[in-house]
């Protein structure tokens, strides 16, 4: 991982150091895609992503899986702080049933794990043939619930991160790298 500052022409004021450069992300996404392609050979996965952050990762990952994948999207919102009790609401459900499908949930980041724990419960009840998780960034120091993660890109430290789908108040999702945020931007 590089501690180099974000390139000046691309880095907005609030963005600090690049934690994972774009080239490293691309390389890892390619590796994950080829592992998934091997594992899902003969049973192309239904890729399911939670809006909005997972969209960037999904868009790259699906092009590195040379199988006849399908995809679908969900959006959820937590009432205040999510809790293990599941104070979560589905604001956009999947368009299609997943019964009998090989489902792979694609997430940009897992933090406490509460979002994914809730989501996996909802999806499991719909009786997919299989249900696995692929996450790009695992902030495992913050985990409150243990989760099965079949594919993981990078472990990341417990810092506020932006880029490659991750936002600060809705911005910076389109940065091609993952970076920290300057202290003053978080106030």
Contacting residues toward ligand PRP, per CB under 6 A: 50, 52-54, 82, 107-116, 167
Cβ at position 173, least distance to ligand PRP in Å: 7
Q: What are phi and psi of 116, to 5 degrees?
A: -70, -35
Query: Which of 42, 148 has the CB closer to ligand PRP?
Result: 148
3-state helix, strand, coil in the chain (%, to 5): 25, 30, 45
Query: Which of 16, 82 has the CB closer to ligand PRP?
Result: 82
Q: Which helix (H) or strand (E) holds 56?
A: helix 54-62
Query: Which of 58, 110 has the CB closer to ligand PRP?
Result: 110
CB of 131 within 8 A of CB of 124?
Answer: yes
Cβ at position 121, least distance to ligand PRP in Å: 13
Cβ at position 81, least distance to ligand PRP in Å: 9
Q: Which helix (H) or strand (E) holds 5?
A: none
**Catalytic residue at 111?**
yes
- 153 exposure class (CB count in 10 Å sphere: 0-12, 13-18, 19+): buried
| Given the residues 60, 108, 111, 138, the one annotated as active site | 111
Q: Which residues are catalytic?
A: 111
């Amino acid at each position: 991982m590089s501690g180099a500052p974000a390139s000046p022409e691309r880095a907005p004021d609030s963005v600090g150091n690049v934690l994972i450069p774009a080239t490293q992300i691309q390389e890892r996404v390619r590796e994950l895609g080829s592992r998934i392609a091997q594992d899902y050979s003969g049973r192309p996965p239904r890729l399911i992503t939670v809006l909005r952050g997972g969209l960037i990762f999904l868009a790259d990952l699906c092009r590195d899986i040379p199988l006849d994948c399908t995809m679908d999207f969900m959006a959820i919102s937590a009432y205040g702080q999510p809790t293990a009790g599941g104070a979560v609401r589905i604001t956009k459900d999947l368009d299609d049933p997943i019964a009998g499908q090989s489902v792979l949930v694609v997430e940009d980041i897992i933090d406490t794990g509460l979002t994914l724990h809730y989501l996996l419960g909802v999806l499991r009840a719909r009786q997919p043939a299989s249900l696995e998780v692929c996450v790009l960034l695992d902030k495992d120091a913050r985990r409150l619930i243990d989760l099965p993660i079949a594919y993981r890109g990078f472990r990341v430290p417990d810092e506020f991160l932006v880029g490659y789908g991750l936002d600060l108040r809705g911005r910076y999702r389109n940065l091609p790298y993952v970076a920290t945020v300057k202290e003053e931007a978080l106030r």
